Amino acid sequence: MGIRDLAKRLKADSADLDSERLLTRFHDLGLTPIGELTCRERARVGGEVKRMRVAPRHGVPSFEVVVGDGTGDAVAVFTGRRSIAGVEHGRAMVIEGVAREERGRRIMLNPAYTLIAS
């Protein structure tokens, strides 16, 4: 690391550094960046788990996982579940499915998922 790189990193805020870290972490996996995700097309995206919650959808519990890769966020919704073993904050995962727009969020219902070792 040169002096210019060090000066650049010292001036950057933590959000920029985190985005840069995530971009480099998921770059070599051949995934679609979440910021470029198009609705109603099959896609594979990956990122780190930012938030999780259980929210009812039409009376059925649904486990929502927000995944971010530095370019944006996607929400994986697993209907009929309250948790998934191994899914925790900061864990890297790849989700694959068809995205749609709902209340300004990119959502994938019941996507296939792969947990990535840290």
Q: Name the pLDDT band for 70 (thresholds 50, 70, 90).
A: confident
For a pLDDT cut of 70, what percent of the chain falls above it? Answer: 79
Category of 109 on φ-ψ map: left (φ > 0), alpha (ψ -120 to 50) or beta: beta
pLDDT of amino acid 14: 66
Per the structure, the count of domains in the chain is 1
| Average pLDDT rounded to a whole number, residues 88-103 | 94
pLDDT of amino acid 114: 94
Q: Name the pLDDT band for 52 (thresholds 50, 70, 90).
A: very high
CATH number, domain at 80? Answer: 2.40.50.140
pLDDT of amino acid 10: 61
| Average pLDDT rounded to a whole number, residues 70-86 | 93
How far the first Cα of the chain sits from its last, in Å, is 24
Q: Name the pLDDT band for 12 (thresholds 50, 70, 90).
A: low
Expressed as residue numbers, the domain containing 108 is 3-116
CA 67/CA 70 separation, integer angstroms:
10
Phi, psi of 91 (to 5 degrees): -75, 140
